[in-house]
């Protein structure tokens, strides 16, 4: 199981939210590049980079941070937040992202996203399914929907997507443990999917549990910044 550390960006700084609430923001580092280099330094190979300003604005804002990290590390970056147009998508990929993370667009503009998958290839995309009580949520979690999580995932598996991350909003940023029951259900339904766990990881035992049930990767954020899991422990894991 791969470990994918997360950097969430607001105004170019490394922050974390609790339950996706912009009012519950904590700044951890003014320099995301320094954070990314620390991750690279312990042997991690991927990075989950989220433009929270972009998610809120509906247009990518923190370009420069992506560009810096892509140019000055060898991390494979999946970048999300505000990718709504083809021009934006191309710029994100040209700026150095390995994968474009798509969330709200996959819900609200299905035709557009399906067209991108056909034109650019499913391998360039990572689908983010934000979930609240097994229903999809969008717009940086500011908006709940009645779309069934499993129907949503199946529809994009049918289109060729192979990796998705699922974030249980009720768990994210709370350090109360990941949604093991939810992930078990997803893995049972879609055994060939590369499921990436996201949200709630608070200690090394959580990562062991996620590996045991068959998650292909786990996104870890707040637990690192709050020193619940040290970089040394991650490098050994």
Looking at the annotation, which residues are catalytic?
8, 130
Type and span of the H or E element at 147: strand 143-148
Radius of gyration of the chain (CA): 16
Contact 95, 63 (CB under 8 A): yes
Type and span of the H or E element at 46: strand 46-51
User: 210: alpha, beta or left, given left = phi > 0 and alpha = psi -120 to 50?
Assistant: alpha
| Cα(42)–Cα(229) distance, integer angstroms | 13
Sign of CA dihedral 134, 137, 142, 143: negative
Q: Name the phi and psi angles at 89, rounded to 5.
A: -55, -50
Identify the three-state secondary structure at position 28: strand
Question: How many CA atoms are closer than 13 Å to the CA of 125, on its beta-carbon side?
Answer: 26
Name the residue with tokens 């320099």. Answer: 31
Q: Report strand pairing: 2-10 vs 13-18.
A: antiparallel
Name the residue with tokens 């093991």. Answer: 180
Q: How far is CA 87 from CA 5, 30, 76, 83, in A?
A: 27, 29, 21, 9
């Amino acid at each position: 199981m791969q470990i994918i550390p997360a950097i969430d960006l607001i105004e170019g700084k490394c922050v974390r939210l609790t339950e996706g609430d912009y009012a519950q923001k904590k700044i951890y580092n003014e320099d995301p590049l320094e954070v990314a280099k620390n991750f690279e330094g312990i042997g991690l190979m991927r990075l989950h980079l989220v433009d929270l300003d972009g998610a809120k604005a509906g247009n990518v804002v923190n370009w420069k941070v992506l560009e810096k990290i892509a140019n000055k590390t060898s991390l494979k970056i999946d970048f999300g937040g505000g990718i709504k147009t083809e021009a934006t998508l191309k710029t994100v990929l040209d700026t150095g992202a390995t994968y474009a993370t798509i969330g709200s667009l996959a819900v609200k503009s299905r035709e557009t996203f399906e067209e991108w998958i056909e034109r650019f290839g499913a391998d360039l995309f990572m689908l983010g399914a934000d979930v609240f009580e097994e229903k999809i949520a969008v717009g940086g979690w500011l908006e709940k929907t009645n779309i069934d999580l499993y129907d949503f995932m199946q529809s994009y598996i049918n289109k060729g997507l192979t990796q998705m991350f699922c974030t249980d909003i009720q768990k994210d940023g709370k350090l109360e443990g990941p949604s093991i029951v939810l992930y078990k259900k997803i893995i049972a339904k879609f055994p060939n999917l590369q499921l990436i766990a996201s949200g709630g990881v608070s200690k090394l035992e959580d990562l062991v549990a996620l590996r045991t049930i068959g998650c292909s990767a786990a996104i870890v954020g707040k637990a690192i910044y709050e020193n619940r899991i040290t970089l040394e422990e991650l490098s050994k894991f």
